[in-house]
Amino acid sequence: MQRFFVLAILILLGWLTYRLSPILSPFLIAGILAYLGNPLVTRLQRHRIGRTWGTTLVFVLVILILAGITMALLPVIRHQSVLFIEYLQKYAELLQTQIIPQFSARIGIHLDSQSITHYATANAQKLAGWLGRSLQLALSSGSGLISSVLSIILVPVLGFYLLRDWPRLIARIAALIPPHYLPISQHLASDADTMLMAFLRGQLLVMLALGTSYAIGLSIVGLQTAILVGLVAGLLSFVPYLGVVSGIAMASLAMYVQTGAFLPILWVLIVFGIGQILESMVFTPYLVGDRIGLHPVAVIFAVLAGGELFGFVGLLLALPVTAVLIALLRHLHGWYLQSPYYLGKES
């Protein structure tokens, strides 16, 4: 009976997450921020700084850092974004006048550049029209605009209160667990917490290190949109291979339009190749370590499945939930290897 009750609770939580996913994003983001900031506030408490004052200090520090980074990078990102859009337009012209005719002559098959260009232009116009209508609908919908603004405002407010009351919340959750399950629950929670904290902090540091490496390397080889490409590739690197593939595509296109030749693209490939070597030999071993053990296939599946089932909320939940499940599966594997069934001691 108890097992069915627990199963019913889990099904109810999954259903509620699915139904409430449009409004859960700010709460989940705030929860992740509070979870990441809790060790620092706890450390400040050990130096006789109250929980509220410690939370305030951490929030002020984070806001100052983010504001400084935004003020430093926003003009550059804006300039390079405009430049990259111009590159896309120039590439479309080159595709019609040079690339398709040359490729057609080399393979000996006639390709109608006009038809290809017309097809691409028509679909681009449809996409632009759809985006324009979506933007107009979002701007004309007062409730949607208010909801977006409220979500942005809610994240720091919710994060502050969650971070301040984090120990109290954990204590209340622990009080709901039956006493005879409490020791094993605490053991599992401790292992899951270790893995999840290492994963989140390590992954954020790897994303930052990769984005910085790509931006520096592409700047050295002369790419004028290096910071934009490095930022996009770094942010997308939380999914294995997505960041590097997107970065190579963006950087190769920009480099070809910028130089008018294919040979400089080789430098782009070298930069991303060095970045991958640094990730596998330096960044991941030192910043994440061997405590995670998330296979790239599992990460890709988790992100795709989370996004398909729960949208943006699923993307936020996918990797943390997968990290916790991996920790639980390791314990189940250990119990199985010590079980009478595995050892052949069943009568």
Summarised one tens digit per residue, pLDDT across range 73-109 is 889 989 998 898 888 888 777 777 766 666 666 666 6
Query: Highest mean pLDDT: which of 7-11, 37-41, 129-133?
Result: 37-41
Number of other CB atoms surrounding residue 84 within 10 Å: 18
Q: Is residue 56 part of a domain?
A: yes
In this prediction, residue 156 has a pLDDT band, given cuts at 50, 70 and 90, of confident
Q: Is residue 229 part of a domain?
A: yes
Q: Give the pLDDT confidence score for residue 309 in this predicted structure.
A: 74
In this prediction, residue 275 has a pLDDT band, given cuts at 50, 70 and 90, of very high
Question: What pTM, to 2 d.p., does this model score?
Answer: 0.72
Q: Is residue 1 part of a domain?
A: no
Q: What is the tally of structural domains in the chain?
A: 1
Residue range 126-145: mean pLDDT, rounded: 49
Q: Give the pLDDT confidence score for residue 139 in this predicted structure.
A: 45
The parent domain of residue 28 ranges over: 23-102+117-173+184-291
| % residues pLDDT > 70 (the chain) | 76
Q: Is residue 296 part of a domain?
A: no
Q: Give the pLDDT confidence score for residue 141 in this predicted structure.
A: 46
Residue 142 has pLDDT above 50, yes or no: no
Residue 338 has pLDDT above 70, yes or no: yes
Q: Is residue 2 part of a domain?
A: no
| % residues pLDDT > 90 (the chain) | 23
Q: Which range, of 19-28, 133-142, 245-254, 270-279, averages the lowest pLDDT? A: 133-142
Q: Give the pLDDT confidence score for residue 138 in this predicted structure.
A: 47
Q: Is residue 48 part of a domain?
A: yes
Q: Within 13 Å, how many C-alpha atoms sit on residue 226's CB side?
A: 18
